């Protein structure tokens, strides 16, 4: 039986980084993958999604181009061309992942890996390698990084719905799409399909989209969605889906019906723990996730660790990478490196993207009295074309220390801008530091350093509750 220092289950963003750093530091490492080398982000997530966002953006740019003097003839979008080009790029990236792992001297296993006990892994056939024999290997340490899978709502007719995995490979673009859920995936795909020309209905059970984001940003997004061609159905719960000869009928509680060609459930993801044999290794789970901390991803079993979407931490690609990197270094080459998980920036790649770092106003007000600065304006790019929809920027500042606790933006280039500001929020710069920074003119980003007048002061919630 082969023996390794470290065995990683799952070759997604976190698993691959962990394996590489461990191997670079002298560990004998193996990694198993059952579906796609590179995992969700590369194959069914961030990367193909962003390529599709670009495709939708081009449509808007072409529509606005005549205002800038371009004589644009009527254009049509070819879905198949996009999907084939996207697939070629993903295949290229898969190859890079495999060669990178091989070059690092890592042993690759293609198949379904599961625990036999806390030091033994069995690898059996999988969709990617149906004819592989079952083999067993031993490892001193094991990292569980199997990722997650989209969740389907348990309603009658759910089998007629697609999830994000399917959206990347539809044979044709549906003319009408009804998306359930207004989290990251629901909002991003609403922008993609509307931008490519589909009629989009977005159904969500809250009063505002993007739960967890700053309330004012959510309100601003709710106003923008219809301007981006999306029909919104807030505070509505789906009841059942019926198949008709010419499409589907999505019934909402209360009686309304949406007629559509495609029902898309974007209702969260659940960790891939089924069939891993975690019980045989004695690994404890809580609510279907493995409880760990991002800085210290140890499970209750001393030689077993968990990173990425299978855990109850951040469930984003960059945090999974940081978790895997930190863990490998800590085990094989301690450096004392730290990452500021608490100021992880987040972005929703909608056609007017949303990005955020640090605390929302609601979170910050629990602990601090606040000075809030906001700005809303029509981006210059939209002036000649007359395209509707304002950008919105917000700084959440601790009124006592003047430290900027959070920066939020919705509007063109928000993710690119907030990535830069994430350094300022991570290093706890003050509003004064922002104020003495010279703006870069003319940009949207300069608003973050020119917001001189406080929009409002918020007393600390804990004080006002007394
Ligand atoms: P989210 O958790 O972001 O959103 C889920 C949505 O489904 C919410 O609107 C939620 O409503 C709704 N929902 C959940 N259960 C029900 C129900 N029973 N009935 C009706 N509605 C329901 O999940 P996503 O699927 O959008 O994305 C999964 C994860 O993938 C994200 O959390 C993120 O970690 C990651 N991701 C990150 C991206 C990025 O960084 N840009 C892009 C895509 C995914 P409510 O809000 O009311 O609970």
Q: What is the pLDDT of residue 377?
A: 98
Q: Contact at 8 Å (CB) between 457 and 371?
A: yes
CA 446 remoteness from chain centre: 27
Supply the residue whose CA is at minimum distance from atom 36 of ligand 1.
184
Task: Share the mean pLDDT of the chain.
Answer: 96
Compute the distance from residue 268 Cα to the ligand 1 centre, in Å: 4
Q: Is the CB of 235 under 6 A from ligand 1?
A: no
Supply the residue whose CA is at minimum distance from atom 15 of ligand 1.
267
Note the pTM of the prediction, 2 decimals: 0.97
- Ligand 1 mutation pick, 225, 233, 268, max ligand atoms within 8 A of CB: 268
Is residue 195 a known part of a binding site?
no
Q: Is the CB of 305 under 6 A from ligand 1?
A: no
Average pLDDT over residues 317-333: 97
Query: How is residue 296 written in tokens?
Result: 């210290």
pLDDT above 90 for 132: no
Q: Is the CB of 181 under 6 A from ligand 1?
A: yes
b/e map 74-99, b = 16+ CB within 10 Å? eeeeeeeebbeebeeebeebbeebbe
Query: How is residue 451 written in tokens?
Result: 């917001």
Q: Read off the pLDDT of residues 77-120 as tens digits, 9 standing for 90 and up.
A: 999 999 999 999 999 999 999 999 999 999 999 999 999 999 99
Q: Contact at 8 Å (CB) between 363 and 219?
A: no
Query: How is residue 92 written in tokens?
Result: 């290229």
79-103 helix and 46-64 helix, angle to the nearest 10 degrees:
140
Q: Is the CB of 298 under 6 A from ligand 1?
A: no
pLDDT above 90 for 459: yes
Compute the distance from residue 265 Cα to the ligand 1 centre, in Å: 10
Q: Read off the pLDDT of residues 26-84 as tens digits, 9 standing for 90 and up.
A: 999 999 999 999 999 999 999 999 999 999 999 999 999 999 999 999 999 999 999 99
Q: Is the CB of 316 under 6 A from ligand 1?
A: yes
Q: What is the pLDDT of residue 312?
A: 94
pLDDT above 90 for 24: yes
Q: What is the pLDDT of residue 111?
A: 94
Q: What is the pLDDT of residue 462?
A: 74
Q: Is the CB of 349 under 6 A from ligand 1?
A: yes
Q: What is the pLDDT of residue 128?
A: 81
Is residue 268 a known part of a binding site?
yes
Cα separation, 411 vs 409, whole angstroms: 6
pLDDT above 70 for 465: no
Q: Read off the pLDDT of residues 392-405 as tens digits, 9 standing for 90 and up.
A: 999 999 999 999 99
pLDDT above 70 for 209: yes
Cα separation, 276 vs 280, whole angstroms: 9
Strand-pair category, 257-260 with 247-252? antiparallel
- Do you know the residue count of the chain? 466
Cα separation, 227 vs 214, whole angstroms: 20
Q: Contact at 8 Å (CB) between 149 and 315?
A: no
Task: Give, for 77, the enclosing helix (H) or strand (E).
Answer: none
Average pLDDT over residues 351-359: 98
Higher-confidence position of 133 and 232? 232
Supply the residue whose CA is at minimum distance from atom 10 of ligand 1.
181
Query: How is residue 461 written in tokens?
Result: 């919630």
Q: Read off the pLDDT of residues 336-348 as tens digits, 9 standing for 90 and up.
A: 888 999 999 999 9
**Helical residues (DSSP H) of 176-289, grouped into ranges:** 184-196, 215-227, 278-281
- Residue 466's pLDDT band (cuts 50, 70, 90): low
pLDDT above 70 for 178: yes
Compute the distance from residue 15 Cα to the ligand 1 centre, in Å: 23
Cα–Cα distances (Å) from 289 to 15, 38, 271, in that order, read 17, 21, 6
Query: How is residue 404 written in tokens?
Result: 């900027």
Supply the residue whose CA is at minimum distance from atom 7 of ligand 1.
267
Compute the distance from residue 188 Cα to the ligand 1 centre, in Å: 11
Sign for the pseudo-dihedral over CA of 61, 64, 66, 72: positive
Compute the distance from residue 211 Cα to the ligand 1 centre, in Å: 8
CA 330 remoteness from chain centre: 26
Cα separation, 201 vs 186, whole angstroms: 10
Q: Which residues are part of the catalytic machinery? A: 441
Average pLDDT over residues 431-455: 98
Collapsing DSSP to helix, strand or coil, 177 comes out as strand
Q: Is the CB of 151 under 6 A from ligand 1?
A: no
Q: What is the pLDDT of residue 296?
A: 86
Structural domains in the chain, CATH included, are 2-147+272-332 (3.50.50.60), 151-268 (3.50.50.60), 352-452 (3.30.390.30)
Q: What is the pLDDT of residue 10?
A: 98
Q: What is the pLDDT of residue 70?
A: 98
Collapsing DSSP to helix, strand or coil, 32 comes out as strand
């Amino acid at each position: 039986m082969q023996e390794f220092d470290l065995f990683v289950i799952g070759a997604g963003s976190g698993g691959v980084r962990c394996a590489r750093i461990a191997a670079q530091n002298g560990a004998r490492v193996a990694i198993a993958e059952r579906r796609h080398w590179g995992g969700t982000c590369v194959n069914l997530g961030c990367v193909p999604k962003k390529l599709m966002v670009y495709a939708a953006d081009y449509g808007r740019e072409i529509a606005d181009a005549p205002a800038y003097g371009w004589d644009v003839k009527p254009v049509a979008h070819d879905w198949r061309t996009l999907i084939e080009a996207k697939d070629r790029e993903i295949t290229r990236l898969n190859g890079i992942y495999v060669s990178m792992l091989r070059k690092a001297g890592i042993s690759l296993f293609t198949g379904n890996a599961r625990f036999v006990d806390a030091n033994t892994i069995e690898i059996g056939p999988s969709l990617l390698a149906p004819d592989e024999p079952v083999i067993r290997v031993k490892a001193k340490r094991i990292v569980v990084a199997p990722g997650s899978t989209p969740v389907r709502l348990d309603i009658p007719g759910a089998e007629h719905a697609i999830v994000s995995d399917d959206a990347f490979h539809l044979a044709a673009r549906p003319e009408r799409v009804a998306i359930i859920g207004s989290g990251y995936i629901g909002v991003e795909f609403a922008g993609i399909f509307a931008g490519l020309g589909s009629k989009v209905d977005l159904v969500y059970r809250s009063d505002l989209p993007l739960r967890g984001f700053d309330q004012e940003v959510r309100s601003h997004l709710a106003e923008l969605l219809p301007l981006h061609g999306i029909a919104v159905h807030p505070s509505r719960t789906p009841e059942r889906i019926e198949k008709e000869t010419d499409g589907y009928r999505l019934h909402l509680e209360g009686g309304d019906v949406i007629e559509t060609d495609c029902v898309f459930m974007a209702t969260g993801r659940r960790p891939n723990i089924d069939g891993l044999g975690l019980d045989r290794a004695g690994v404890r789970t809580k609510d279907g996730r493995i409880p760990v901390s991002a800085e210290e991803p140890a499970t209750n079993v001393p030689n077993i660790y968990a990173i990425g979407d299978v855990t109850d931490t951040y469930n984003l690609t960059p945090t999974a990478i940081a978790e895997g990197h930190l863990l490998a270094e800590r085990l094989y080459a301690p450096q004392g490196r730290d990452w500021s998980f608490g100021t992880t920036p987040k972005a929703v790649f909608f056609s007017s993207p949303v990005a955020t770092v640090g605390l929302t106003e609601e979170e910050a007000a629990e602990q601090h009295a606040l000075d809030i600065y906001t700005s809303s304006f029509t981006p210059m790019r939209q002036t000649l074309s007359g395209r509707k929809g304002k950008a919105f920027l917000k700084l959440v500042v601790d009124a006592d220390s003047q430290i900027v606790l959070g920066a939020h933006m919705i509007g063109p280039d928000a993710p690119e801008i907030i990535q830069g500001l994430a350094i300022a929020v991570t290093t706890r710069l003050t509003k004064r530091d922002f104020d003495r920074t010279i703006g870069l003119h003319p940009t949207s980003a300069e608003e973050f350093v020119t917001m001189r007048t406080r929009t409002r002061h918020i007393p600390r919630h804990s004080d006002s509750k007394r």
